[in-house]
Amino acid sequence: MKKSLWGTALFLTIILAAAAAQGAGPFDVRLPAAGVNLDPQALTVVGSMQSYEIQKGDNLLDIARHYGLGYLELGNIYRHWDPFIPPVGHRITVPTIWIVPARPAASIVVNTGAMRLFYYVDGGRKVYTWPIGMGVLDFKTPQGNFKVVGKKVNPAWHIPKSLQAKYGMSVMPAGPDNPLGQYKLTLSWGDYGIHGTHMPWGVGRLVSHGCTRMYPEHIKQLFPLVKVGTSVVYIYEPVMIGFKQGRIYMEVHEDFYHKIPDMLTYTLGRLENTGLITSVDLTRVAKIVEERTGVPTDITKGAGGMAAR
């Protein structure tokens, strides 16, 4: 890319088409065998690191979208920058690499602790993944088991009673101001669901009243793949542990919903419960917990603390 990501309408069209192909998958996975904590054949780290040179007119939010990332997946690495004026000419690391849930309890797993949706296909041998936006602190996206009970194109928004005075209506029809976007997967949880958005910069942030938001180009990919009746589980797990080529990886995210009193204690407990505590470099684990960038990093003893490639 040799110009601003939003230079012209034509270039924007090209960018969005490219974004749809960036990072989604499906990726090959090999889930650990049941009852095995460190399965040397397991593969739950997917994707690969990329890089990009900042051009005049770029901003981190658009770059994140182009590479199929939520804003914080990139912004947490470069949190010391103004996201709207990144330094031109600087080559940045783009973390298009993720740890997937090793033992999915449903076809769709939404991990609000990492702001990521995972869709398993082919009997769990392949996985798609996309970033999400989710509920603000006053309207937290819940945990639980659900099913897809409906699929809607150009859905109307049935506005919660607490917000009807603000919008001056109880139902907002489809259109450019409708926060649901063009596609919605309705869940067995009231009128909530997984849908697009009219505000793409909200993906990778706490923005909704409980629903799960996706970039318009991503929900357009997911929508035709999913059938009514598909199982969905929402989890909150900011500490993800994964495996690749017999090595142990970990990514740690911010505690978005302030559920974990002490992240280091929590992380060490996760490693202890999975039987991996003696196989990892604890100094490196502590550093990853402190930084909380969400980037998968090799924590195996003797690994040298390299981010996954």
> 10 Å Cβ neighbour count for 178?
18
**Residues 101, 112: Cα–Cα separation, whole Å:** 12
**Cα–Cα distance measured from residue 187 to residue 191, given in angstroms and rounded to the nearest whole number:** 7
Q: Which of 66, 80, 158, 195 is catalytic?
A: 195
Beta-sheet pairing, 50-53 with 91-94: antiparallel
Q: d(Cα 132, Cα 205) in Å, to the nearest integer?
A: 8
Q: Are 257 and 265 in contact (CB under 8 A)?
A: no
Catalytic residue among 66, 90, 211, 218: 211
Whether the CB-CB separation of 151 and 145 falls below 8 Å is answered with no
Does the annotation mark 195 as catalytic? yes
Let me know if 258 is a catalytic residue.
Answer: no
Tell me the C-alpha distance between 277 and 154, whole Å: 49
Give the residue numbers marked as catalytic.
195, 211
